[in-house]
Amino acid sequence: MMLFATCINPLLIKLRSKLHGIKVINITTKTTAVAYADYVMIFITHASEIDEIKDTLHEYIRATRARIKEDKSRAIALGSWTKMTPIMNIKFYDDIKILGFNMTRNINESAKSFVQY
């Protein structure tokens, strides 16, 4: 597990440098990605960032031989985001459970479940 954590850190750093991320409630720093074990959640707010994610993930895959299981991946259109913008072959949902927390299309409502924990 320590090896995986060491290998995934460069991916998280690269995503943070390339993406706008989201800001919720009274938190002043942006959040671009959250990782736990082999689970990575990426937040994007602009359609143009999809290409950045694809490029970054493909670079990470080439370097580590990791794989993305698109059939097990989920996308949620937060806020005014549209489901019409395809993200690789990942299916969109109206709400999803992430690491035991419920995420819905309303960013602030979803953030409350994280804060209450």
Q: Quote the number of domains for the chain.
A: 1
Copy the structure tokens of residue 92.
Answer: 């969109």
Beta strands in the chain (DSSP E): 33-36, 39-42, 74-76, 91-93, 96-98, 101-103
- What pLDDT is stored for residue 23 in this prediction? 77
- What pLDDT is stored for residue 117 in this prediction? 44
Note down the domain range covering 87: 2-116
Which letter does DSSP use for residue 1 in this model? -
Tens digit of each residue's pLDDT (9 = 90 or more) over 88-101: 788 888 788 777 77
Tens digit of each residue's pLDDT (9 = 90 or more) over 15-24: 999 888 877 6
Amino acid occupying residue 43: F
Integer angstrom CA distances of residue 57 from 12, 48, 78: 10, 15, 21
